[in-house]
Structure 1
Amino acid sequence: MTNHPVEMYQYHAWANQTILGRIKELPSSVLSQEVNSSFPTIAHALSHIYSVDTMWYLVLTGMEMPEAFQAAKPLNENVLGSVEEYANAFGKLAEQYGQWFRSHADLEQSVLLNNPFAGVRQTRFSEMVLHVVNHGTYHRGNISTMLRQLGHASTMNDYALFWYMEPTASIS
């Protein structure tokens, strides 16, 4: 039986590496070229995705959300210098998520989430994982638009394409 939140996270990790692979094909300056968009550069968008993924990982592993937000906040402001650095950072974080998935069979377990921006609510682990995926998809769309503004094509990284990809390594 398919564990859909885990599969969706696998898609998220694959999509991150796919768009990074496309950016790697372009001149290295594309990472830091300024654009008029949601983020000043593609590197800023990637740092944002990474920081939010890290924050939610910390929440999933038991840290209260206000503390996780503070712990991950510097990552949002830390712009890395190369696509390889982003690929490595995202890859290591995906491995950490994979280890967490292997140790948590019941992703429908509910925990009390104290979201400093929205309040307290019961939230399932699966909801948090799906939020991570949705958030990443949204911002990869921003990155695709930014690439086009810089005169470059993006690359398809839709979930439907992921269905047809040969699984390289399972993170669950």
Structure 2
Amino acid sequence: MMTGLSEFFQYNLWANLRLLDACAELSDAQLDATMPGTFGSVRETLMHLFSSEEGYTYSFTKTRPTSPLKEVSTFVGFAELRRRAEASGTMLIQAVEQRDLSETFYLDGGTYECQAYIVALQAINHGIDHRSQIATILSQQGIELPDLDAWGYNDSLRANA
């Protein structure tokens, strides 16, 4: 079996969707909770996570959704976040499978230069970081998320084989 960077993005999509499914079951008070050292509330962190993922997708495709999350000031709901996570996650998988990751990107209006693989690395790191922050906020409330790590992903792959 040939493996590559796309497997990291398949994992990222799986973890994002699993996180959304778990968070959809939470109360408003649980979703509005925050703690020092995290991005913000669970809701704010989810919006930021998927807004950023749309931005990483834009770096590769130069296309944005009609109403990018970064321009939305209210929580869009779990069905919409799931739809967007599936779209951006799938586009990132395709991008790392099809693009030359040594290509130079000029981001932030051309003021920041990096190779495409840096954007890919940032997308993976960013997702793990914010999923962990949400897990921390929820664990402080006595709420345990399902496994979102590589072991949980492996178990899911094996169960679906």
Question: Could you tell me the TM-score, scaled by structure 1's length?
Answer: 0.73
Among 121, 127, 151, the residue aligned to 1:160: 151
- Structure-1 residue corresponding to 2:82: 87
Task: Quote how far apart the aligned CAs of 1:28 are.
Answer: 5.3
Q: Is the 8 A contact 2:11 2:153 kept in 1?
A: yes
Structure 1, unmatched stretches of 5+, are none
Aligned in 2, Cα 1:13/1:167: closer, same or farther, shift over 3 Å?
farther
Gap change, CA 1:73 and 1:83, over 3 Å in 2: closer
Letter in 1 for 2:113: R
> Aligned to 2:70, what secondary structure does the other structure show?
helix
- Distance of 1:25 and 1:146 partners within structure 2: 15
Corresponding residue number in structure 1 for 2:129: 138
Any idea what SS the aligned residue of 1:2 has?
Answer: coil
CA contact (8 A) 1:51 1:72 kept: yes
Distance 1:121 1:168, change over 3 A: farther
Provide Cα deviations, 1:17-69, integer angstroms capped at 9, x if missing partner: 111222233335532x2323424421100000011101111111147xxx9xx
Any unmatched runs of 5+ in structure 2?
none
TM-score by length of 2: 0.77
CA contact (8 A) 1:11 1:159 kept: yes
- Where does residue 22 of structure 2 map in the other structure? 22
Q: Deviations over 1:130-149 (max 9, x none)?
A: 21011010000010011122
Aligned residues: 155
Shift of 1:157: 0.4
Partner-residue secondary structure (3-state), 1:21: helix
Identity fraction in percent: 21
User: What code does the residue aligned with 2:78 have?
Assistant: V
Structure 1 residue 101: Cα displacement: 4.8
SS of the aligned residue for 1:20 comes to helix
1:43-102: CA deviations, max 9, x gaps? 100000011101111111147xxx9xxx66324x4422x333322221232233345456
Query: Deviation of residue 127 (structure 1)?
Result: 2.6
Partner of 2:59: 59
Q: Classify 1:126/1:167 alpha carbon distance in 2 versus 1 (closer, same or farther; 3 Å).
A: farther
